[in-house]
Structure 1
Amino acid sequence: MTDWQAFTVDIANHVARVTLTGPGKGNAQGPDFWRELPLIFAELSANPDVRAVVLTGSGKHFSFGLDLPAIAATLAPVLAPDAKAAPRTDFLHEIRRMQASVTAVADCTKPVIAAISGWCIGGALDLIAAADIRLASADAKFSLREAKVAIVADIGSLQRLPGIIGEGHLRELAYTAKDIDAERAERIGLVNDVYPDQEAVLAAADAMAAEIAANPPLVVQGIKDVLEHRTRPAVTDGLRYVSTWNAAFLPSNDLTEAITAIFQKREPDFKGE
């Protein structure tokens, strides 16, 4: 495997462990993350020695989500007052590129188990929604945070979570942008099980991956392909719709206010403009 900037990848006994490493605080998803993620999962899909994947974060947290300061330059042209077709089209392509990065996890031919500790926010929730199975430590916290920063979540949570947690729970999390703990996450089906700490959840993920890897690999891949066939068309259609919606309507005074408030470390004052 390549030397990665935002990940480490280790393979042993037919199981690959993919670990988010930043370089932003809390493994925030910066440019290296979006560039490397699809490359890594394409390699794992093509590697016959890999039969299952464990996806986790380094340090105390899984990921703080999208690294807004790192992508501010991408947002600047489309937030300009005179932004018309060209910057909006560029922004549409950027959204779809980021969507494709996360979709590479769902499209991986090998089952992916997410082992989550600490914070899992925004884009990180998009990421674990693309995994096959989610396990958490007791200190894990989850937030579909985008509404608080004047963004319609557009990388996959709104498309994939209905089949995981159901419409009612998803709408509550999306509309309120509230934080939930591991106990609530288990109760609504976001995670399969909760373990006492990070060491325990990683051990459980490794054990589950080993159990999967002991089964006939082509049969396991066939099961995943059949399951994805059931949901893939709706997810694909939903991702295209939200990317088009955001390219048209995401630029707003409220989004500018949200970004400004983050940099000034204050509460935003939204006006609906």
Structure 2
Amino acid sequence: MSLDVRIADFVAEVTLLGPGKGNALGPDFWRELPEVFADLDADPEVRAIVLTGSGAHFSYGLDLPAMMPSWGELLEDRALAAPRTRFLDQVRALQHAVTAVAACRKPVIAAVSGWCIGGGLDVVAAADIRYASADAKFSLREVKVAIVADLGSLQRLAGVIGEGHLRELAFTGRDIDAERALRIGLVNDVHPDRDAVLAAARATAAEIAVNPPLVVQGTKDVLGHERERRVAEGLRYVSAWNAAFLPSDDLGEAVRAFLERRPPEFRGR
């Protein structure tokens, strides 16, 4: 429903399909992502994976209209333990979906064109290698919608771009272009357009696929050993933090402003 998977010459290509505008990440995506990557992890005919988006954009991020119904009771009954516990379970399920990308033993190369926002950035942060087209733009935007980012960017990107750059992006929610992303190390390289960045990702995947597969997988395992342990601890902490503190008047205002297409007015309540 949300992902197209094609395998040839030991390389799998996974393409985000939406159905939300700009490949927004809705319930189908979060259900299917861990299933797809578990299957690719187990498939001996796959030695490397290219991850990209269909159309002009990688992803606009979380599909808020599609996901909000499951959050409604948290906003309505925010003093109660039961809705907070259900929300905690939901967040951890989404975290598990993103972690499936990082945990896959096959190297994952993300090819990003256009917008890569919020949850989309969480997903590419879990990849091993990131390439961008010249028109790519990235945003760790959760702060703009009164949410502490809880799906892995805060945990994984510190080791990629450094604490200073991560804090700047997380506190401001600002957008950065491909040139800035390259300068801070968020992406490995920038290519002229979508076709070029996809070709580069495919070429790197093919280069990986001719190497001894168990050694490549072992190298990924060793490289990720310390990081993923720290990431797991951070994900557990932020999911509990959001279950405790996410419900707020500011979150409700962020949702209303999004649906009404106007700037929000946050009051710290």
- TM-score normalized by the length of structure 1: 0.98
Return the alpha-carbon distance in structure 2 between the equivalents of residues 205 and 53 of structure 1: 9
State the match for 1:272 in structure 2: 268
Return the alpha-carbon distance in structure 1 between the equivalents of residues 52 and 201 of structure 2: 9
Return the alpha-carbon distance in structure 1 between the equivalents of residues 181 and 203 of structure 2: 21
State the match for 2:148 in structure 1: 152
Partner-residue secondary structure (3-state), 1:204: helix
Q: Does 1:101 align with 2:112?
A: no
Deviation at 1:81, TM superposition (A): 4.5
- TM-score normalized by the length of structure 2: 0.99
State the match for 1:53 in structure 2: 49
Q: Does 1:207 align with 2:199?
A: no
Deviation at 1:252, TM superposition (A): 0.3
Q: Report if aligned partners of 1:65, 1:123 keep a CA contact under 8 Å in 2.
A: yes
Counterpart code for 2:139: S
Deviation at 1:74, TM superposition (A): 1.0
Q: Tell me the alpha carbon deviations over residues 135-174 of structure 1, each in whole angstroms, 9 at most, x when there is no partner.
A: 0000000000000000000000000000000000000000
Counterpart code for 1:112: V
List gaps (5 residues or longer) in structure 1. Answer: none
Partner-residue secondary structure (3-state), 1:254: helix
Return the alpha-carbon distance in structure 1 between the equivalents of residues 212 and 238 of structure 2: 38
Deviation at 1:82, TM superposition (A): 5.0
State the match for 2:39 in structure 1: 43
Q: Report if aligned partners of 1:77, 1:83 keep a CA contact under 8 Å in 2.
A: no
Q: Does 1:181 align with 2:177?
A: yes
State the match for 1:139 in structure 2: 135
Alignment equivalent of 2:228, drawn from 224, 228, 232: 232
Partner-residue secondary structure (3-state), 2:149: coil
State the match for 2:6 in structure 1: 10
Return the alpha-carbon distance in structure 1 between the equivalents of residues 149 and 136 of structure 2: 21
Distance 1:212 1:166, change over 3 A: same
Return the alpha-carbon distance in structure 2 between the equivalents of residues 230 and 95 of structure 1: 23
State the match for 1:246 in structure 2: 242
State the match for 1:220 in structure 2: 216
Counterpart code for 1:272: G
Return the alpha-carbon distance in structure 1 between the equivalents of residues 210 and 196 of structure 2: 21
Alignment equivalent of 1:92, drawn from 75, 82, 88: 88
Q: Tell me the alpha carbon deviations over residues 76-131 of structure 1, each in whole angstroms, 9 at most, x when there is no partner.
A: 01111454100000000000000000000000010000000000000000000000
Q: Does 1:28 align with 2:36?
A: no
Q: Report if aligned partners of 1:35, 1:101 keep a CA contact under 8 Å in 2.
A: yes
Deviation at 1:233, TM superposition (A): 1.1
Return the alpha-carbon distance in structure 2 between the equivalents of residues 170 and 63 of structure 1: 20
Alignment equivalent of 1:114, drawn from 96, 102, 110: 110
State the match for 1:262 in structure 2: 258
Q: Report if aligned partners of 2:78, 2:84 keep a CA contact under 8 Å in 1.
A: no
Q: How many residues align?
A: 269
Counterpart code for 2:56: K
Q: CA RMSD in A?
A: 0.6
Q: Tell me the alpha carbon deviations over residues 40-92 of structure 1, each in whole angstroms, 9 at most, x when there is no partner.
A: 00000000000000000000000000000001111101111454100000000
List gaps (5 residues or longer) in structure 2. Answer: none
Return the alpha-carbon distance in structure 2 between the equivalents of residues 82 and 182 of structure 1: 39
Return the alpha-carbon distance in structure 1 between the equivalents of residues 237 and 144 of structure 2: 21
